[in-house]
Structure 1
């Protein structure tokens, strides 16, 4: 069918690839305006825009969809035959006037098992909370934040070694597949989300990244994995910020933040319960390094102590 696609990051781009490969005609792609990125802070197109241009699809990058001219552009695509708008991590609110335009409305690819983790950061929040599984819902969009009825859903387990990057990739693949299945079956019966079990995945704030060594090692393991690759779990040592990229909970006992043991493979740091064995670190302005390379320039020894944040 003819359709409109709205999305911005790689999660969205993978869905767009799958939709095109399935033979659907994407007549318009909406994506966020180009943003400065990289060392030179030059304007960079979003992954979704890059895929659209490579496929010869028209791209529209409004600052908002509330303006009459933006809504008119979407309405023109609908008048040209677009029967549905597929939305994936777009980043702009769709007003009711836009939601009502396509014949099949707007459907969203959301990376959680709704109603758990409505909102902006469902992948990170599921990891941080220690959820055993997560998944993707194809949802009929309405005015509320991820409140619409579910058309199709798929679950997958969260592995003990998953971080936000690896779980993102699994969910992006699942979301792309489910979206194509949903498009082939429209119109689908819609199942209202239950009122029980609603949680909100608030946007990640960089201030959350700071490691509090008074927490249990199990919780800090999830913290490190949830904030990899963004913004990176941050610890303070001798007045410097050190990012922790890879760690695992181990047995250990000591004052929170105290280095219990150091070898070429790991630095073991005491937590409120147990200890965290860190195997990949990064000093501010440096590269991510395995412990043996990090120690060559930044010696750590048993008895040293990472800072514990003020309560």
Structure 2
């Protein structure tokens, strides 16, 4: 009677070690990716940013004079290329996590029968699956958070120093600099695991997980601007409203003061637009946008939604496994096959 709690307590470390051993290639691949990308971001933050900033200083101080224009163009292009490659690699992590979870974590185990065999052993199916989800989620979440932090440091090192550095509201930079990417990576991992359980084929789950994450990313991109109240900039007929940030909507202001969204002639830049706005009775223009002050509210709101979605996906995965294992146990009992607990006499 006293040995049962000890065996249950010791079961969790053994399960974790078993998972790390089974998925050792993926663990090594993830470690290599994190270390290589972290090294690239540190290189980007230090020597590359300094060299590009020095090149732009040379350009700004010499290329407007009649003297020969001398600056290190290669340093500027090298910074731009490395920034683009590291940013795209970081944003690819949600797709990689979903593809691995669908193909290797659940899809392949169902396809080969390993999952059903493991469900009949001393560890209960739900506890085993919880460990299978928790361990990769911890590794993916920690690694992605570290890379996002390093990417933000690398971007900050060039802000105001490199003339071609991306603005904070650039879509790729916005996502790579904040916790939204961490939330997407965790949601992608659970989404891939769910796809693998539903399809039960590794290759099919691999092919379906990637577009599923793409659809999730599109939904986040379309929803994110509406998670926080916008700021509004207005102007008269002589000029369009000035703003810096994420544009949500723009349009015209009628004589009654109403804002009417439109995508055409939101300024009087041409004589055609001037005539059309005169005919409309337009008195000015407006733009709804998110300034820099809305950066963290948008990031945290979107991350919260993604974490809630991750919890929902985890509940769906556990519910699906519980339904399948309960059905398997009932069929085995009806056929006169004793359960693993009855054979061993040990609790799951």
TM-score normalised to structure 1 length: 0.28
Q: Please tell me whether Structure 1 or Structure 2 has the larger radius of gyration of its CA atoms.
A: 2
Structure possessing the higher relative contact order (Cα contacts under 8 Å, 6 or more residues apart): 2
**Hey, which of these two has a bigger chunk of helix by percent?**
2
**Hey, which of these two has a bigger chunk of strand by percent?**
1
